[in-house]
Structure 1
Amino acid sequence: MKIVVLGAGVIGVTTAWYLAKAGHEVTVIDRQDGPALETSFANAGEISPGYSSPWAAPGIPMKALKWMFQTHAPLVLQPRLDAQRIGWMLQMLRNCTHDAYVVNKSRMVRIAEYSRDCLAELRAETGIQYDQRTQGTLQVFRKQEQLDGAGKDIEVLKADGVPFEVLDRAGCVAAEPGLASAAERIVGGLRLPGDETGDCFKFTNRLSEMAEALGVTFRWGVSVKAIEAEGGRISGVVTDQGRLTADRYVLAMGPYSPQMVRHLGLNLPIYPLKGYSLTIDIQDESRAPVSTVMDETYKVAITRLGDRIRVGGLAEIAGYDLSLNPRRRATLTKSVSEMFPGGGDPEQALFWTGLRPMTPDGTPIVGATPIPNLFLNTGHGTLGWTMSAGSGRLLADLITGRTPEIEAGDLGYARYLKGGAAQARAALQPARA
Structure 2
Amino acid sequence: MYTETSHAPVPHTDVPQGTGPVPTVPPAAVPPAFGGVPPVPPARPRDRKRDRKRVGPAVFVTCLVAAGLLGGGAATGAAALWTDAPAQSTTTAQAAISPVIVNNTESVNAVTAAAQKASPSVVTISVSSGSSGGTGSGIILDTEGHILTNTHVVTLDGAAEDAAVEVRTIDGQVYKATIVGTDPLSDLAVIKIDAEGLTPATLGDSGAVNVGDKAIAIGAPLGLSGTVTDGIVSAVNRTIETESSATSDGSSEEGSSQNPFRSQSGVAASAQDSISINVIQTDAAINPGNSGGALVNAQGEIIGVNVAIASAGSSSSSSTQSGNIGVGFSIPINQAKRVAEEIISTGTATHGQLGLSVQDKTSGSSSDFTAGAEVASVTSGSAADKAGLKAGDVVTGLAGRTVTDASELTAAAREQAAGATVKITFQRDGEEQTADITLGAAS
TM-score, normalised to structure 1, is 0.26
> Which is bigger in relative contact order (C-alpha 8 A, separation at least 6)?
1
Would you tell me which structure has more strand in proportion to its own residues?
A: 2
TM-score, normalised to structure 2, is 0.25
